[in-house]
Structure 1
Amino acid sequence: MVHPTQQSRSRAYWHAGITTAIVTLILLILIFIGSREFRDFDSALIGYAVGTVFCIGAFIYRYTLWLHRSPTWRYFRGGWVNFLSWRNFQRYTFLIPKAWWTDIFAQTFIFQRGVLRWIMHMAIFWGVILSLLVVLPLTFGWLRFTLVPPRDYRVWVFGIPFFTFPIEAGTGFAIYHALDFTALLLIIGLAIAFWRRITDAGLRAVQRFGFDLLPLILLFAIAITGLALTASELWWNGRYYWFISLTHQAIVVAWLLVLPFGKFFHIIERPASIGVTLYQTVNQDVEHYGEHMPHDPQATPTSCRRCNEKLPSGQFVSDLKGILRDVGQEYNLGDDRGTLQEYCPTCKRVLRGQAYYALMKKRFL
């Protein structure tokens, strides 16, 4: 007989595999269409393209498995239910844009922990994101540049002419050196990261080479070899260009292969925190204004059974009990005392002490 947990795990792997296959197929179709049946696809960039497709597929696979975890799925589902509610949209119109700004774009929660730490995260985050916004369209053939004699370039997006700009003007210089700017931004953030990991005793004690350091080392190598390509073209008369470009591509592909399995996976997980923010805000406000959750109006108390201290929210406690039930851990106290999750942290410790004393008597002291 197959254990229910094993069935759930097998179902999660099956769903993750199917989702990954579908997303990968859609991506390949978009590459085919966006590059005009591969006419705009640069074969010299095929290594980048293969590495990127694998990276995205691995991210989807891991993300789907992550969503199948009981606590993740409950928060994920609750966040979307609240987000798609018209009443919630009217009441919390600016909550989601604000959360995107504070949690993703500006990461102000890191600023509160330290200015230098915030600069490091901002430099690495935006250095990676802006680089990908340039590299991925070029790699997939969605973006290309053609010469318009005598001194202009034309930008093509999905085979459609987008705009034309002079090569020697400020616009041309900024576009041509966009990856150089992002590389310099990355180097600033990585330098701070390496300095912190060398000088911070707490970080040195818990960091792992493959998980914490290797992605940073590869990013640093990508930035340096990318700048070396520009140096070879501008100052070295093209010397070593082939070797540098091959080395750069190999390092980028290696980084793409380890990216879904290292610490940078949290970049994909982080947007889910916005749904958790909405979930918590909505449920706290519902109880503050005396409203009831539509699907479970009276099942869970909103205050501690012992001292009447306010709990986070009835819905939160209900979902916590559901999560523990899903993983086979129920803490029913019996004798109409409810479950352990219906007590505040202080009263949980008191109940635990009373239970130990009832069991051990004087030996407890």
Structure 2
Amino acid sequence: MPQPSAAPPAPAPAPEAAAPPRPRPPAVRATLVASAVALLLIAAIVLGSRLLRNFDSALLPYAVATVFLAFGVAYRYTVWISAPPARRLFRQGWRSFFSPENFRTAPTALPRMIATYLGFQKFLGARSHARWAAHQLLFWGCLLAAVITFPLTWGWFTFTSGTGSGPGYEMRIWGFKVIGFDSASVVGWAMFHGLDLAAGLVIAGAGYFLWRRMRDRAATTGQRFGYDLIPLLALIVVSVTGLLLTFSEVFLHGGGYAFLAILHMASVVFTLIYIPFGKFFHIVQRPAAVGMQLFKYTARQNDKIFTCRRCGEPVDTAPYIEGLRGTMRELHLEFDEFTTYCPRCKRILRGGAYLTHVKRGFS
């Protein structure tokens, strides 16, 4: 009898397609970036101080705090721009910054925005002239203190006397002479008391905001002690203890100077470490807003204004609306069409939806 034929062999399973590499979690990527930034700062301190020959060991706690500051700022900034809205803003800002077309059509746009939006913060003047003035005192005082303190802490700036006791001094950067000055002159006094001037500006600005948070009902209702008051108190403590060091040296012949130096150092280290994790982080975020303002400005020059789908009133530029809709789609928000209406029509649509779907259920 004929034997039954053997069953055909089963087909070999198709090879599975290689899965795309999974991106690193934001925390891991942020840790790597922050570690690289901290290591680069350490290398810059070593090289800038001429292999630590110009590094003052008494300032070591300040230098360590700045390394932690660099790590914290880089970590939080990397996590921040990993979110879809911030990432889109970040990319569009840099794309506008490096666009040859923008430089050709609006060469002065970026300098003007840096000066008005970042430097003098004119947008604050629309809220209150007093708040704008206080913010300017705080901003320029902190900037002056940072420009002086950080290079001195890292050993990049040195002041040397050719005669041993003065009055002639030389300011050197990375070991190279920049200027010479007389310590008894106005320039010399400003050189050695720049931090005192910065402290006066900071105390005036922070004092106003602290007074406002104690008296203004609109400010007191929503403030939080750790987020709103601690930063102001920290700035005032740093500034006051710094002025007390000068007071001890000039009027008390060094009395209590050692204790005040430790107290000032502790307040500065705490403030530097607090910056990446508190309200001060908006200082790092603010330059990104300049990039977004540049993107919106150049889009207004080159693109048509998008009009409301309901009333026809201008809303914003088409690239800005499309970017906002793209961000909402990335966040899986199912109402991105809502961005194509002006604020007034949004309120009308919300009110109509409430009347239709909510009030209908009430007898």
**What SS does structure 1 have at the residue aligned with 2:179?**
strand
Amino acid in structure 1 at the alignment position of 2:259: F
Structure of greater Rg: 2
**What SS does structure 2 have at the residue aligned with 1:274?**
helix
Cα distance, 1:114 vs. partner? Answer: 2.0
Residue number among 257, 263, 273 corresponding to 2:289 in the alignment: 273
Residue 213 (structure 2) pairs with residue 197 (structure 1): yes
Amino acid in structure 2 at the alignment position of 1:330: E
Residue 155 (structure 2) pairs with residue 141 (structure 1): yes
Residue 141 (structure 2) pairs with residue 120 (structure 1): no
Q: Distance in 1 between matches of 2:50 and 2:108?
A: 40
Residue 130 (structure 2) pairs with residue 132 (structure 1): no
Residue number among 309, 316, 340 corresponding to 2:338 in the alignment: 340
Q: Distance in 2 between matches of 1:269 and 1:124?
A: 17
Residue 249 (structure 2) pairs with residue 233 (structure 1): yes
Residue number among 137, 143, 155 corresponding to 2:171 in the alignment: 155
Q: Distance in 1 between matches of 2:23 and 2:167?
A: 60
**What SS does structure 1 have at the residue aligned with 2:307?**
coil
Residue number among 67, 84, 96 corresponding to 2:110 in the alignment: 96
Q: Distance in 1 between matches of 2:138 and 2:316?
A: 35
Could you say which residue in structure 2 is the equivalent of 1:261?
277
Q: Distance in 2 between matches of 1:246 and 1:269?
A: 31
Cα distance, 1:357 vs. partner? Answer: 6.3
Could you say which residue in structure 2 is the equivalent of 1:108?
122
Could you say which residue in structure 1 is the equivalent of 2:14?
none
Amino acid in structure 2 at the alignment position of 1:325: R
Cα distance, 1:313 vs. partner? Answer: 2.1
Q: Structure 1's 36 and 208: CA in aligned 2 closer, same or farther, altered over 3 A?
A: same
Which residues in structure 2 correspond to 1:219-230 (within 5 Å)?
219-230=235-246
Residue 194 (structure 2) pairs with residue 178 (structure 1): yes
Q: Distance in 1 between matches of 2:153 and 2:349?
A: 61
- CA shift digits 1:326-348 (9 cap, x unpaired): 1112237xxxxxx3333334444
Could you say which residue in structure 2 is the equivalent of 1:328?
332
- Contact between 1:356 and 1:364, CA under 8 Å: does it hold in 2? no
Amino acid in structure 1 at the alignment position of 2:135: H
- CA shift digits 1:183-206 (9 cap, x unpaired): 111111122112111110111111
Q: Distance in 2 between matches of 1:364 and 1:286?
A: 51
Q: Distance in 2 between matches of 1:48 and 1:260?
A: 16
Q: Structure 1's 147 and 63: CA in aligned 2 closer, same or farther, altered over 3 A?
A: same
Residue number among 48, 51, 58 corresponding to 1:44 in the alignment: 58
Which piece of structure 1 moves more, 23-32 or 150-159?
150-159
- Contact between 1:321 and 1:330, CA under 8 Å: does it hold in 2? no
**What SS does structure 2 have at the residue aligned with 1:111?**
helix
Q: Structure 1's 9 and 131: CA in aligned 2 closer, same or farther, altered over 3 A?
A: farther
- Contact between 1:19 and 1:60, CA under 8 Å: does it hold in 2? yes
Residue number among 299, 314, 317 corresponding to 2:318 in the alignment: 314
Aligned length: 341
- Contact between 1:75 and 1:279, CA under 8 Å: does it hold in 2? no
Q: Distance in 2 between matches of 1:314 and 1:307?
A: 16
Could you say which residue in structure 2 is the equivalent of 1:70?
84
- CA shift digits 1:204-262 (9 cap, x unpaired): 11111111111111111111111111111111111111111111101111111112222
Task: In structure 1, list runs of 5 or more residues that go unmatched.
Answer: 1-6, 290-301, 333-338
- Contact between 2:172 and 2:178, CA under 8 Å: does it hold in 1? yes
- Contact between 1:305 and 1:342, CA under 8 Å: does it hold in 2? yes
- Contact between 2:56 and 2:153, CA under 8 Å: does it hold in 1? yes
Task: In structure 2, list runs of 5 or more residues that go unmatched.
Answer: 1-20
Q: Distance in 1 between matches of 2:188 and 2:173?
A: 17
Residue number among 184, 190, 210 corresponding to 1:168 in the alignment: 184
TM-score (norm 2): 0.87
- CA shift digits 1:274-322 (9 cap, x unpaired): 1111111222222339xxxxxxxxxxxx333344333312212211221
Q: Distance in 2 between matches of 1:32 and 1:44?
A: 16
- Contact between 1:79 and 1:276, CA under 8 Å: does it hold in 2? yes
Q: Distance in 1 between matches of 2:344 and 2:200?
A: 50
Q: Structure 1's 205 and 236: CA in aligned 2 closer, same or farther, altered over 3 A?
A: same
Amino acid in structure 1 at the alignment position of 2:141: G
Amino acid in structure 1 at the alignment position of 2:341: Y
TM-score (norm 1): 0.87
Q: Distance in 2 between matches of 1:229 and 1:151?
A: 21
- Contact between 1:137 and 1:143, CA under 8 Å: does it hold in 2? yes
**What SS does structure 2 have at the residue aligned with 1:156?**
strand
Q: Distance in 2 between matches of 1:215 and 1:10?
A: 33
Q: Distance in 2 between matches of 1:246 and 1:183?
A: 18
Aligned-residue identity in percent: 38
Q: Structure 1's 342 and 197: CA in aligned 2 closer, same or farther, altered over 3 A?
A: closer
**What SS does structure 2 have at the residue aligned with 1:271?**
helix
- Contact between 2:304 and 2:318, CA under 8 Å: does it hold in 1? no
Which residues in structure 2 correspond to 1:14-25 (within 5 Å)?
14-25=28-39
